[in-house]
């Protein structure tokens, strides 16, 4: 069950995926508390760090209580990425991850994220430079390939291993698929068979049963959960319980959902201030309450909420 990535020992093998706009510090703390064995930060641009961008620095805030934590860099210039990796190495993250999966046009247009999978030579240069520059383990997150005509996850994983990567995460979709269709778990199995570093499977794990199925079908060493964790940090506890004891935990009660939302909102405000914290909390409330009775009405009210006090009132009195 445990998983070792370089010198970082994880207590188990269930990981919160990096999600820009979602896996911020408050959310990571809650997922850690609920049993995520590793939490991944929102991607940050190596160039933006080099330019001392203030928003980027905020994204890099880490609380020792959330560790082990993985910081993800994106970029395409080997020298710059290695320089930045070295510059930030003293920050309290445990693992440095390199993004080779982002499908967003602006990123791909700059030759970053999933665009790197079209250039194996550059992949090799980036990983070997970054891994050579720091002592902390360097991991890589890739997709199945760029498009159906270029499925090369196995080739890229071999290059990553040969260049010093300590583990590789594979999202079983091509860049062209974005998040649509079904993730191809067979490509995860193929990568697992091709390399001896730990392989983390990713794509469509939304329940404890799916987590176990992915581990069994692909032989992967860990599972990474993305969208299904939104509004549902309990999923980590549920998966862990199922993998260890075969027990299916009940869904959280309404009271648990309410108290998690309240804590989440207070943490958002603490880290981001009232204005941003509350606005960002709106989407989390939508995720927490999706499918619950009267959730549409609650969401309508939450979407015009301006302060923590107002939000607390709605969640305390108006919820249920
Ligand atoms: C809103 C959102 C933001 C994401 N941001 C990142 C990111 O910053 N870095 C990254 O490597 N992947 C990112 N991803 C991809 C996820 O890490 C994951 O690979 C993908 O959602 C598939 O896993 P899932 O089916 O469990 O959601 C993002 C996905 C979503 C939905």
In this structure, are 235 and 217 located in the same domain? yes
Number of structural domains, the chain? 2
| CA distance between the termini of the chain | 38
Q: What are phi and psi of 202, to 5 degrees?
A: -150, 140
Of 62, 58, 56, 90, which Cα lies nearest the Cα of 74? 56
Which structural domain, as residue segments, surrounds residue 69? 3-245
Q: Taking the model in full, what pTM does it have?
A: 0.97
Domain end point (choices 201, 224, 245): 245
Whether 297 shows a pLDDT value over 90: the answer reads no
In this structure, are 287 and 209 located in the same domain? no
Domain end point (choices 245, 275, 310): 245
In this structure, are 155 and 213 located in the same domain? yes
Over residues 299-311, mean pLDDT: 90
Of 82, 91, 115, 103, which Cα lies nearest the Cα of 41? 91
Q: What are phi and psi of 116, to 5 degrees?
A: -60, -30
Summarised one tens digit per residue, pLDDT across range 101-141 is 999 999 999 999 999 999 999 999 999 999 999 999 999 99
Q: What are phi and psi of 183, to 5 degrees?
A: -70, 140
Q: How confident is the model at residue 319 (pLDDT cuts 50, 70, 90)?
A: low
Going from the Cα of 318 to the center of ligand 1, the distance in angstroms, rounded, reads 32
In this structure, are 193 and 135 located in the same domain? yes
In this structure, are 233 and 265 located in the same domain? no
Q: What are phi and psi of 100, to 5 degrees?
A: -130, 30
In this structure, are 219 and 126 located in the same domain? yes
Q: Are 260 and 288 in contact (CB under 8 A)?
A: yes
Summarised one tens digit per residue, pLDDT across range 213-266 is 999 999 999 999 999 999 999 999 999 999 999 999 999 999 999 999 999 999
Could you tell which of 181, 226, 232, 236 is best to mutate to test the pocket of ligand 1, judged by most ligand atoms within 8 Å of the CB? 226
H or E stretch covering 106: helix 105-109
C-beta of 41 in contact with ligand 1 (< 6 A): no
Question: The domain spanning residue 126 has which CATH number?
Answer: 3.20.20.70
Could you tell which of 17, 31, 39, 43 is best to mutate to test the pocket of ligand 1, judged by most ligand atoms within 8 Å of the CB? 17
Domain end point (choices 245, 280, 295): 245
Question: The domain spanning residue 304 has which CATH number?
Answer: 1.10.1200.80
In this structure, are 51 and 91 located in the same domain? yes
Going from the Cα of 310 to the center of ligand 1, the distance in angstroms, rounded, reads 31
Summarised one tens digit per residue, pLDDT across range 13-45 is 999 999 999 999 999 999 999 999 999 999 999
Catalytic positions are 102
pLDDT at 296: 87
pLDDT at 122: 98
In this structure, are 20 and 125 located in the same domain? yes
Of 117, 165, 163, which Cα lies nearest the Cα of 139? 165
Instruction: Supply 266's token pair.
Output: 């207070």
In this structure, are 52 and 193 located in the same domain? yes
């Amino acid at each position: 069950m445990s998983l070792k990535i370089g010198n970082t020992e994880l207590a188990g093998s269930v990981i919160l995926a990096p999600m820009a706009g979602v896996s911020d510090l408050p959310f990571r703390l809650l997922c850690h508390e609920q049993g995520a064995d590793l939490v991944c930060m929102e991607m940050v641009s190596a160039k933006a760090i080099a330019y001392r961008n203030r928003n980027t620095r905020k994204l890099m805030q880490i609380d020792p209580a959330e560790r082990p934590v993985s910081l993800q860099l994106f970029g395409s210039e080997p020298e710059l990425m290695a320089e930045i990796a070295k510059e930030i190495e003293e920050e309290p993250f445990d693992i440095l991850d390199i993004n080779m999966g982002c499908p967003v046009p602006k990123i791909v247009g700059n030759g970053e994220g999933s665009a790197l999978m079209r250039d194996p030579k550059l992949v090799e240069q980036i990983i070997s430079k970054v891994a050579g520059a720091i002592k902390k383990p360097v991991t890589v997150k890739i997709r199945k390939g760029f498009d159906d005509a270029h499925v090369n996850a196995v080739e890229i994983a071999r290059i990553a291993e040969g260049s010093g990567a300590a583990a590789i995460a594979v999202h079983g979709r091509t860049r062209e698929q974005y998040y649509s269709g079904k993730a191809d778990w067979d490509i995860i199995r193929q990568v697992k068979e091709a390399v001896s570093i730990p392989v983390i499977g990713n794509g469509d794990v939304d329940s404890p049963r799916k987590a176990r199925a992915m581990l069994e079908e692909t032989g992967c060493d860990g599972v990474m959960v993305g969208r299904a964790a939104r509004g549902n940090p309990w999923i980590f506890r549920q998966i862990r319980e199922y993998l260890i004891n075969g027990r299916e935990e009940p869904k959280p009660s309404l009271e648990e959902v309410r108290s998690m939302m309240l804590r989440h909102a207070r943490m958002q405000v603490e880290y981001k201030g009232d204005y941003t914290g509350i606005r960002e909390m709106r989407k989390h409330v939508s995720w927490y309450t999706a499918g619950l009775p009267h959730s549409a009405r609650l969401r309508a009210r939450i979407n015009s909420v301006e302060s923590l006090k107002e939000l607390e009132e709605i969640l305390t009195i108006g919820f249920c």
